[in-house]
A and B are shown apart, each in its own frame.
Chain A
Amino acid sequence: MKFVKIALLILITAFFFVAADRLLMPKYMSQSHEGRLTREYYSSEKNHSVIFIGDCEAHENISPAELWRTYGITSYIRGGAQQLIWHSYYLLEDTLRYETPDVVVLSVMAMQYGEPRGEEYNRLNLEGMRFSPTKIRAVRASVLPEEDTLSYFLPILRYHERWKELNRDDFNYFFRRKNVAHNGYMMRSGVMAVDFENFIPGRRLADYSLPDICWEYLDKARELCAEKGIELVLVKAPTIYPYWYREWDDQIAAYADRHGLLYVNLLELADEAGIDYSIHSYNAGFHFNVQGAETIARFFGGILTDNFNLPDMRGDDQTAAVWERKLEAYDAMKAAQEREIAETGRIRTLTY
């Protein structure tokens, strides 16, 4: 009887803590959707030929659905807002715990950042990782001095104050949350053309050297891929902003050359890719809209198939059936976004 009482007490206490944790965690459903990206990966099937890793240049600028539709390539984007190069490395390490793709495509935009950009970006990129030694290493490498490591594993310690700001989302998505992305791709419709007449070039920098820590993690990523027999591809998306300096590009190109890696600077290939900056960006050149992401996917998919022996999985019934459902959801969201834009002129939410 005594043990039953104690067990019951432990269970009830645990229930309250778990319930509070679920309730107080931000749901990232109506805003900051990027907070969902890391955790959504775990519910996807784990048989991707290509894994994209990187910041918004990865998760907003290429459509895995289009890669499938055009080339039969199964891919997933493990992207995140302001994902730093060490975030990328640990997300790669985490991904390789579940699957071994043929190719890993790493966005190099974040190579310019040698310092953490703020607690929120650590949270958006790392909080959703499943508990593992990789997560411990990722958190330890990323936390700011004013943060506490433990709260990445027990989020209630960070979000306990949210009882003051609970909203409808917190209750609506208490039990189940919808996916906001399509294999890691965050779809955005809408058009805001790049204003080339008022183009703002990057200001001169005192030092164009990319930070040592970024090279260190790039080395680690390269070595990890080599160890697993994975081809590593470096890519720079064709976004106009933030400004990408020629000096940075040269360093990346030299690195790729030195280590026999494929480096694709899509900025230089934008015309060839068919990018039209007057219709393919939804925010004046910072990110691409869904049409832009599909255009990039069609072009970049060609580069991938030309350089690597990637299987066309469309002939595999089981995989095709899974992707058929994904395409349905993808097309439905695309239609819903276009409808919303036509009706209201803007998109309020990415959850339909």
Chain B
Amino acid sequence: MNFASYGFAAFLAVTVVLYYSVLRRFQWQLLLAASVVFYAFSGWGNLVFISVTVVTTYITGVKIQGIPKTGENKPKRRRLLICCMVLNFGILAVVKFLDAAAPNFVLTLGISFYTFQTMGYIIDCYRGKEAERRFFRFALFAMFFPQLIQGPISRHGDLSATLYGPHKFNPQNFAEGATRVLWGFFKKLVIADRLLPAVGTLTEDPQAFGGVYVLLAIFLYAITLYADFTGGIDITIGIARGLGIRVKENFDMPFYSKNIAEYWRRWHITMGTWFKDYLFYPISTSKPMLRFMKFVKRTCGDYAGRRAPVYACTLILWFLTGLWHGMTWNFVAWGLANGIAIIISQELTPLYNRFHRRFGLKGTRGWNAFEVFRMFWIMNFIRSFDIYEGVGETFKAWGSIVARPNISGFSLLGLGPDTADYVVAAIGVAMMILTGVVMRRMKTKEIPPFRHFAICAGLAFVIVVFGAYGFGYDATSFIYNQF
């Protein structure tokens, strides 16, 4: 069930009404039932995959907790953990591999998200955090419908604090949630879906749209992806908020980042922290990595010995992050490009420091703006691996920027959207930037419910009139649904 569908709107309305109508102690059961119904709409077959994950993770969690954490039991606990992870990551890998071979044939809705969420949980159990002993409560944690298809990737400790209620109807929460949901739809329908046809046209035929059009394609894709993904997350967080449940934020104005590490701390935050906590740290402190560090130290010296393991871990991390997005060379290249950019950035840090000591530009408005601009375009180029058909095509597209810029023949028209579409999208982007700045300065809570509802009414009107939906438009899923 697509968030941007009448079916989902009806489903959500019924769920919310029932949620606040049933006895509060049954609220979480209702949410579980709603989540199963929601997921069943994506295909009954998909329920099999998620059920396997839920059952195996639940049993493993309980079993691991039942085994004392003492020395001789450690291998037993580890075996259970590895079995569970191999099974679930195995399913994910097979599904992703088959999807790369035959797109949309078997791809299970939100499999990357719920697999990572449940595997994070099982690793936490292994590390000593308390397992959820009630099966259906655990099932709700894994299947909570607003975040099932595109995250955020929640931690059990965070989500369970509010997930199981009870929740009394709170106008403030409800109003905040409704505003957030509509704001998400605004980003998705008024900005992302209006520009998406242009991105499609520009990237379908890189030969015809080389040169300056490549810059346009990656620029528009940055806006589209941001509006689409953050829009989806806004809807998720908004729905949860309306139900009285707190879900972690997944974005923190990433386009204001000044370096790539900062960018990844602000974009898809929960995925970044997942990889850091469950992959980067365990790998970097693992025995083989320590042995590797000693080996490099011995052969290449102290500096290399300190850096090499970090960089190796970085490349492994980004290679796997690429694979998480899809088992294609595009995503592998995208992941490695991120890793390499981070390594280069770290290696150049002493040089930057010397530059700043010499010219004293650090911290000035101009320099900050330059850094933000630079970061935006570096990420745009890295992200372009997503949009062209192959890695080779991406490099050719980059090359065409220099080889045949074609500036004189440049026109925004003829790409799908017309002038009016660009104007609406531009106003939408301006509103998005402005709102981001304003919201950062003031907390949402400061806005009383009535004003929230007034904002909702305005947003609903703008979405209905200026949204790109309905006959003549494909009902586009959120881009991150495919992961």
Count contacts between A and B, CB distance < 8 Å. Answer: 47
Whether B471 and A156, one on each chain, are in contact in the complex, defined by CB atoms closer than 8 angstroms, is no
Whether B471 and A151, one on each chain, are in contact in the complex, defined by CB atoms closer than 8 angstroms, is yes
Q: How far is the CB of A315 from the nearest CB of chain B, in Å?
A: 51
Of the candidates B6, B453, B465, B471, the one whose C-beta lies within 8 Å of that of A163 is B465
**In the complex, chain A residues 1-48 whose Cβ is within 8 Å of any chain B Cβ:** 2, 5-6, 9, 12-13, 16-17, 20, 24
Whether B464 and A157, one on each chain, are in contact in the complex, defined by CB atoms closer than 8 angstroms, is yes
Whether B466 and A148, one on each chain, are in contact in the complex, defined by CB atoms closer than 8 angstroms, is no
Question: B457 contacts the other chain (Cβ, under 8 Å)?
Answer: yes
Whether B461 and A16, one on each chain, are in contact in the complex, defined by CB atoms closer than 8 angstroms, is yes
Q: Identify the closest chain B residue to A23 (Cβ).
A: B465
CB-CB under 8 A for A164 and B471, given A9-B457, A150-B6, A157-B464: no
Question: B454 contacts the other chain (Cβ, under 8 Å)?
Answer: yes
**In the complex, chain A residues 132-183 whose Cβ is within 8 Å of any chain B Cβ:** 146-148, 150-151, 156-158, 160-161, 163-164
Whether A6 and B450, one on each chain, are in contact in the complex, defined by CB atoms closer than 8 angstroms, is yes
How many angstroms from the CA of A163 to the CA of B419 in the assembled complex?
A: 13
User: Which one of B457, B461, B471 has the greatest number of beta carbons of chain A within 10 Å?
Assistant: B471
Q: How far is the CB of A18 from the nearest CB of chain B, in Å?
A: 11
Question: A257 contacts the other chain (Cβ, under 8 Å)?
Answer: no
Whether A148 and B457, one on each chain, are in contact in the complex, defined by CB atoms closer than 8 angstroms, is no
Question: B460 contacts the other chain (Cβ, under 8 Å)?
Answer: yes
Question: A223 contacts the other chain (Cβ, under 8 Å)?
Answer: no
Question: A119 contacts the other chain (Cβ, under 8 Å)?
Answer: yes
* Set of chain B residues within 8 Å of A157, measured between Cβ atoms: 464, 469-470
Whether B471 and A13, one on each chain, are in contact in the complex, defined by CB atoms closer than 8 angstroms, is no
CB-CB under 8 A for A148 and B471, given A5-B450, A6-B450, A9-B454: yes
How many angstroms from the CA of A288 to the CA of B472 in the assembled complex?
A: 35
CB-CB under 8 A for A160 and B470, given A6-B450, A17-B464, A150-B6: yes
Q: Identify the closest chain A residue to B461 (Cβ).
A: A16
CB-CB under 8 A for A13 and B457, given A20-B465, A146-B471: yes
Q: How far is the CB of A171 from the nearest CB of chain B, in Å?
A: 16
Q: Identify the closest chain B residue to A157 (Cβ).
A: B470
How many angstroms from the CA of A161 to the CA of B472 in the assembled complex?
A: 10
* Set of chain A residues within 8 Å of B210, measured between Cβ atoms: none
How many angstroms from the CA of A163 to the CA of B424 in the assembled complex?
A: 11
* Set of chain A residues within 8 Å of B6, measured between Cβ atoms: 148, 150
Question: B17 contacts the other chain (Cβ, under 8 Å)?
Answer: no
Instruction: Tell me the B residues contacting A by CB distance below 8 Å.
Output: 6, 418, 420, 450, 453-454, 457, 460-461, 464-467, 469-472
Other than A6-B450, A17-B464, A20-B465, give 12 A-B pairs with Cβ distance below 8 A: A2-B450, A9-B457, A20-B461, A148-B471, A151-B470, A156-B464, A156-B465, A160-B464, A160-B467, A161-B470, A161-B472, A163-B466
Which 4 A-B pairs have CB atoms at the shortest separation, nearest pair first?
A13-B457, A164-B420, A160-B465, A16-B461
Instruction: Tell me the A residues contacting B by CB distance below 8 Å.
Output: 2, 5-6, 9, 12-13, 16-17, 20, 24, 119, 146-148, 150-151, 156-158, 160-161, 163-164
